[in-house]
């Protein structure tokens, strides 16, 4: 099918108008990391303008009770081939549970990790079991399931490089990522 020259020009102009409507203004949204591994996420937007102003949730942001702060300790460690929370870390998990219970708009991702021993599939499952054990503990302490997300990285993101027991021990962990 052949279009007349003016119809072809109209199609090109309409296509350019659609593409121009999709382009960004080059501005940035305030969703950057704040250095502690927390991403800014509470934002307000103006409908239809594409403009966003955000405030990071980093211990003193939106949805928090006055004086509530995210606990400083963010990592708990596990024994070899275990998903049982060690008693020495129960107080840390309790402090995260207290924070999340008193801040219903707060959200945490529990990142499960393992050392390099075992198959990739087994380690992904073990990392998920570890993060799931922490999630169940938080839920028993009154944290809403909607506030918690579980992810497993298995052996893919080691905290320590090396093939010795010290490195392995540092890699068997769950990290609280707000």
CATH of the domain at 91: 3.30.1330.60
Max CA-CA distance within the chain? 79
- 173 domain-assigned: yes
Residue 50 lies in a domain: no
Are 79 and 59 a contacting pair, CB within 8 Å?
no
177: nearest Cα among 76, 43, 66, 29: 76
* φ/ψ bin of 91: left (φ > 0), alpha (ψ from -120 to 50), beta (otherwise): alpha
Could you tell me if residue 133 is inside a domain? yes
User: Would you say residue 146 lies in a domain?
Assistant: yes
Full residue range of the structural domain in which residue 109 is found: 76-97+105-178
Tell me whether residue 114 is in a domain: yes
Note whether residue 6 is domain-resident.
Answer: no
* 175: nearest Cα among 104, 94, 130, 111: 111
* Residue at 1 is within a domain: no
Q: Which residues pair with 151 in a beta bridge?
A: 111
Collect the ranges in the chain with pLDDT lower than 70.
1-67
Number of structural domains the chain divides into: 1
Give the pLDDT score at 68.
Answer: 72
Could you tell me if residue 87 is inside a domain?
yes
């Amino acid at each position: 099918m052949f279009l007349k020259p003016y119809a072809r020009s109209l199609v090109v102009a309409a296509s350019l108008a659609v593409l121009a409507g999709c382009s960004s203004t080059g501005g940035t949204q305030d969703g950057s990391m704040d250095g502690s591994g927390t991403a800014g996420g509470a934002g307000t937007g103006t409908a239809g303008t594409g403009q966003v102003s955000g405030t990071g949730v980093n211990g003193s942001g939106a949805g928090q009770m006055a004086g509530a702060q995210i606990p400083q300790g963010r990592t708990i460690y596990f024994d070899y081939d275990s998903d049982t929370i060690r008693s020495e870390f129960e107080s840390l998990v309790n402090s995260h549970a207290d924070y999340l219970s008193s801040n219903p708009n707060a959200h945490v991702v529990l990142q499960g990790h393992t050392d390099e021993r075992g198959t990739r599939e087994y380690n992904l499952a073990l990392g998920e079991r570890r993060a799931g054990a922490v999630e169940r503990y938080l839920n028993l302490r009154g944290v809403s399931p909607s506030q918690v997300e579980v992810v497993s990285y298995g052996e893919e993101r080691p905290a320590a490089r090396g093939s010795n027991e010290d490195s392995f021990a540092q890699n068997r962990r769950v990290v609280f990522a707000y």
